[in-house]
Structure 1
Amino acid sequence: MNEQDIIISHIKEYVANYSKYDVKNYPYINDNSNGSNSPWGEPEVAFASAKDEKFQDLKKIVGPHHLLPKDFLEDAKTVITYFIPFDKQIVKSNVRTPEAIEPSNLWYQLTNDTNNLINDLNDSLIKKIQELGGEGTSFPPSSPKFEKENLTSDWSIRHVAHIAGLGTFGLNNMLITDKGCCGRFGSIVTNLAIEPSNKENKQVENCLYKYNGTCKKCVIKCPNDSFYYKDDSYFCDAEKCYNQILEKNKKDACGKCMSGVPCSFINPVSNLRKD
């Protein structure tokens, strides 16, 4: 196997075999496609060249504080990104109803467990990279920070994953992959020169609203009316979204705008492109 295949295999096997969570917290999970009785599905993995000019663009799109791959490693060559999808039953438990506008206990539990999984996976992935003769890091010398003034991170993993070709942004600012948007993203910067993913046809809009003006389900699902209409389009108010997550819910979780919508588990535009 080449280095790209080795990394992909390592990520998928690690997630499939991860056991540092309490199974009793997830009594309704399905048998996932990877054959394990796990609250996670099989990850999607993509690679980008650390010299991709789109990383520099993030200093305009996100903010001048956004880091570049070389801020992680001076000789950075590749950015590895991955998406870990949530089990469908757990996502369904989080669908908004008039009685349920806060995140379900299952969703909140899985969000925390997935954060732990990503931290452990990145540690394991760095060791694998070292076995291959390289170095890797998931954090720069000064750890990533969240800018409260403009509600942005100095390393936006979703934007990084978009550059690598994992998906495109939906109306709700979630990145829609081929396996939907319900899940979490991780990234590693390495000085291994790994072939970038083939992004051909990967940058076409995956959001139904952006593709053909339909859907808008995420607008309805938001419990805090975080969407507004301007210049013939909808936008997500980041401040209202942030307020819902940390002030109203009192939890670092919500997910209502991505639960029970066409892009929860799939790229809903892919079938339309086949017509």
Structure 2
Amino acid sequence: MDRTRAPATRTRYRAPLVGFAPADDPRFDELCALVPDHLHPRELLPDARVVCAFYLPFSSHTVTANACEERVSEHWARAYVETNALLSELCITLVAELERIGIPAAWAPPTHNFDPVRLVSAWSHKSIGVICGLGQLGHHHMLITESGCAGRLGSIVLGTGTKLPPRRNADGSFCAFDRGCRVCIQRCPVGALTESGLDRSRCYARCLENDARFPQWTADVCGRCATGPCALQPMHHSKSSGEIPVV
């Protein structure tokens, strides 16, 4: 599957993952209660029926390239930029095709939709991915899916006329932090990720430093914490807690 590549990009991907959830899943209400500024699916689309989340996992080569450098690799930065553009194009196309057959739909950008002070998203694709059964949140605040955490997420909300497809279940504990794994902490180059959690401001400051290295792109990204043992596959263990992540 590493041969899969979007026609207009140099980035290579593994097989995509797709998950669904009903728009009235109570976990959306819980998420909005935890993060008051977070949008409910019905705020994106008043007659929302189904939420669809999708994940594009990077190739193993992209992961290896970023793991070998202290600063973000050009390969990873390009993947970040190209995949954000690809996800936006995908959402625009999906919404147009759905509306053409009479199904209203809406979407939010794959990135840069967060509060610049609190660094919390108004529409967290990671949290949406958890609710749609794509995976679980790791200690590094990345979504760990069946295909790991090295990749990008998008999502759309579908309205009247949509039937809920079979739902995915992310069973087991995908993160090995509670079993002693500390690779993501060790790979954070600025100490933003510690035993106690993530310092969002320090993490984002590093991302902005990396962005300055690539003036041709908007590449405010690092990804070093996403190159460990859960990069390409989850670290399976016991059943998950089902808690709602805030990312």
TM exceeds 0.5?
Answer: yes
Mapped to 2, the partners of 1:145 and 1:44 lie a distance apart of 22
1:43 corresponds to which residue? 16
Contact 1:79-1:189 within 8 A present in 2 as well? yes
Contact 1:93 1:104 in 2 (8 A): yes
Q: TM-score scaled to structure 1, two decimals?
A: 0.77
Identity of aligned residues (%): 30
SS state at 2:233 partner: coil
Choose from 44, 59, 77 the match for 1:87. Answer: 59
Amino acid at match of 1:106: H
Q: Which residue of 148, 159, 168 maps to 2:136?
A: 168
C-alpha displacement at 1:101, in angstroms?
1.6
Q: Deviations over 1:46-67 (max 9, x none)?
A: 0011111111111233x20000
Aligned length: 230
Q: How is 1:45-194 mapped onto 2 (pairs within 5 angstroms)?
A: 45-61=18-34, 63-96=35-68, 100-139=69-108, 145-191=113-159, 192-194=161-163
C-alpha spacing 1:110/1:66, structure 2 compared with 1 (3 Å): same
Match of 1:240 in 2: 202
Deviation (angstroms), 1:204: 3.3
Tell me which amino acid in the other structure corresponds to 1:193.
T
**Structure 2 unaligned regions, length at least 5:** 213-218, 240-247
Q: Distance in 1 between matches of 2:210 and 2:155?
A: 29
Q: What is the match of residue 268 of structure 1? A: 235
How far apart in 2 are the matches of 1:167 and 1:154? 20
| Maintained 8 Å contact 1:226/1:241 | yes
1:223 aligns with 2:199: no
| Cα distance, 1:18 vs structure 2 | 2.7
Amino acid at match of 1:55: F
Aligned CA-pair RMSD: 2.5
Specify whether residues 203 and 237 from structure 1 end up closer, same or farther in structure 2 by C-alpha distance, changes over 3 A only.
Answer: farther
Computing the radius of gyration over CA atoms, which structure comes out larger, 1 or 2?
Answer: 1
- In structure 2, the residue matched to 1:33 is none
SS of the residue 2:191 aligns to: coil
* Partner AA of 1:242 in structure 2: Y
Deviation at residue 198 of structure 1 after TM alignment: 2.8
Whose RCO is larger (CA < 8 A, sep 6+)?
A: 2
Note if contact 1:48-1:197 (Cα within 8 Å) is conserved in structure 2.
no
Inter-partner Cα distance in structure 2 for 1:215 and 1:190: 38
- Using the TM superposition, give the Cα deviation of residue 197 of structure 1 relative to its aligned residue in structure 2, in angstroms: 4.1
Bigger shift: residues 45-54 or 191-200: 191-200
Q: Equivalent residue of 2:67, what SS?
A: coil
1:18 aligns with 2:6: yes
8 Å Cα contact 1:158-1:175 kept in structure 2? yes
| Consecutive unaligned residues in structure 1, runs of 5 or more | 1-11, 24-37
Q: Does structure 2 conserve the Cα–Cα contact (< 8 Å) formed by 1:40 and 1:87?
A: yes
SS at match of 2:126: helix
Identify if the C-alpha distance between structure 1 residues 179 and 242 changes in structure 2 by more than 3 Å, giving closer, same or farther: same
- How far does the alpha carbon of each residue in 1:132-162 deviate from its partner, in whole angstroms, 9 at most, with x for none? 430111139xx98421221101000100111
TM superposition score normalised by structure 2: 0.85
